[in-house]
Amino acid sequence: MDPAFFSLVVVPILIFFARVTDVSMDTIRIIFISKGYKGRAAFLGFFEVIIWLVAITQIMQNLTNVFCYLAYGAGFAMGTYVGMLIEEKFPVEKNNIASVVKNDVSKLFGDLRGLFGPKPSGRYMRQRWLRKAR
């Protein structure tokens, strides 16, 4: 294979796919961290960093090739997008409360903010609500 072709075409393509992979893995790793899966997050982080090192090594070896820079940036952007698509497949626990009221709701919202605080857990909310309801 022609060295010029390899450095101008193949290396940027490899950098692009390496970045898509490692940024997508980063998204999954963050999901694992937020769900408390420490071992899985660490395991994934190990491979994520190795892939990043391979990509950044290629950038450093080809500092005069602007296509490598473009591939690095485009791979990051695409990896972010792919990571968001993957994140949609993970079940995320979301709680919604719907209520229908006839009166002014500003007092209700103030009471709810005071009752629940900034970001309480579901268990905390139920316990605090039960105490105030008594």
CA 16 to chain centre: 19
CB atoms within 10 A of CB 100: 4
C-alpha closest to that of 65 among 2, 15, 1 = 15
Q: What is the pLDDT of residues 43-99, one digit of tens each?
A: 999 999 999 999 999 999 999 999 999 999 999 999 999 999 988 887 656 556 666
φ, ψ of residue 78 in degrees (nearest 5): -65, -35
Give the HSE-up count for residue 45: Cα atoms under 13 Å, Cβ half-sphere.
11
How does pLDDT run across 9-40, given as a tens digit for each residue? 999 999 999 999 999 999 999 988 988 889 99
pTM of the model as a whole: 0.66
